[in-house]
Each structure stands twice: as structure tokens, then as C-alpha cells.
Amino acid sequence: RAENSLHPLSSYLLRLMTLKQSNLCLSADVSTTNQLLNLADAIGPHIVVLKTHYDLISNWDYNPTTGTGARLARIARRRGFLIFEDRKFGDIGNTVQLQYTEGTAKIIEWSHITNVNMIPGKAAVDALADAAVRWRERKRYDYDACPGRQESFSCQCGTEG
């Protein structure tokens, strides 16, 4: 199925599922950075997706390079899983874009998957998709066909993704 998928993230997820012989997604409902990072590191080899709620973490570090999101993304690359920030965006298009790309947590920088509350309608989904396209053009991220390696989700622009 992975080779027939039209979207690179879908293809990558399907490869992860095949490689790990699993479709397990763990919801990390914890309240501190250490709990989140320790859980991700310990369970990472056994899951394909880790679902997070960054706003539950009382000591979330917002630094884009050394903070909680960046550290979690490094663990995800090393352990071979995707991060799903369960945000349920629910505002008008421009606000949703800003929350996703420029908000305090810069979710787009560390989370592979997010979601939208459909009350605001299709415009919110379209706005997130547009923001992701513009971000990807700036960052030039690629999905490697060999999930589980440290380089499996790498950035061509010279920084870790």
C-alpha cells in the first residue's frame, strides 16, 4: 500500500506500519516534559504514532532548537515514529495558520500530524494545508523510504527536521 500512496507522509506511515508490524498509536497524556520524553524514548520502538497534547505539559520548553518539541522530534527520528499533536484547530483560516506555524509551540516544526475541529468548516483545513505547503517550500523536508533510522525524517536544508 505504501508504494501506491499519493502523499509522502501516508506512504511513510504505511512503511512504518509494515516495518514495525504494528499500527499502534499511543496517547501520551502526561503532564511534564520528562514524563513525555521518557515515555517517547521507552515506547518509541513499539509504536508508529505518538499522540500529544503540548498544552498539558506544565513545563513545555518553547525553544525551537533545544526545547520540548525539538527534543521529542529527535526521539521520534531515532525511534522511528510519527508525532500527532491533537490540537483540534477551530478558528478562521488566518488564525489557524498562525497558531500552526507561528504560535508559541510552532507545532509545524515538530509534529508530523495534527487535526482540525470541523465547526469552522473546510476553510480551516485548506488554510492549514496552504501553511504546510509554504513551510515545506522553505524547509524542503523529505520523507526517507527507510523508517526507523535516525535520518529517516531529514531536512535537506542542513538542519535536523
Please tell me the distance from the alpha carbon of residue 72 to that of residue 40, in angstroms, as a whole number.
7
Contact 9, 18 (CB under 8 A): no
Which phi and psi angles does 107 have, rounded to 5°? -50, -40
| Catalytic entry in 88, 106, 122, 139 | 88
88 is catalytic: yes
Please tell me the distance from the alpha carbon of residue 148 to that of residue 80, in angstroms, as a whole number.
4
Q: In this structure, how many other beta carbons lie within 10 angstroms of the beta carbon of residue 117? A: 12
Q: Which residues are catalytic?
A: 88
